[in-house]
Amino acid sequence: MASQSEVGHPKNLANIDKVIDLITQFGVPYNPTNPQITLSGINTLKTNCTTVANSLTTIFVTYKNDTNVRQVIFKPVDKLVTSVSDHAKTLSVPQQTLDDIASLVKKIHGDISGKLTKADAGKMIDPNQNPVPIEDPNSSDTVSTSQQSYDSILSNFYKLIQLILTVPGYAPNEASIQTATLQTLYTNLSAANLAAITATNAYNLARNQRNLIFYAPNTGLCDIMKKVKSYTRQVYGSQSSEYHQMTAIKFVKFTIKKKTKKKVN
- pLDDT at residue 254 in the model: 80
134 strand-pairing partners: 256
Question: Which domain range does residue 102 map to?
Answer: 76-117+144-196
User: Do the domain assignments include residue 124?
Assistant: no
User: Do the domain assignments include residue 211?
Assistant: no
HEC per residue, 186-250: HHHHHHHHHHHHHHHHHHHHHHHHHHHHHHCCCCCHHHHHHHHHHHHHHHHCCCCHHHHHHHCCC
User: Do the domain assignments include residue 40?
Assistant: no
User: Do the domain assignments include residue 25?
Assistant: no
Pair 157, 95 in one domain: yes
pLDDT in tens, 5-37: 345 899 999 999 999 999 999 999 999 999 999
Q: Which of 153, 180, 196 is the last residue of a domain?
A: 196
Mean pLDDT value of segment 199-206: 94
Pair 172, 234 in one domain: no
Return d(Cα 12, Cα 254) in angstroms, integer.
Answer: 11
Pair 150, 238 in one domain: no
Q: Which of 236, 238, 241, 240 is nearest to 32 (CA)?
A: 236
Pair 148, 254 in one domain: no
pLDDT in tens, 128-163: 554 444 444 444 344 466 787 999 999 999 999 999
Our count of domains for the chain comes to: 2
Mean pLDDT value of segment 45-60: 96
pLDDT in tens, 70-105: 999 999 999 999 999 999 999 999 999 999 999 999
8 A C-beta contact, residue 4 and residue 129: yes
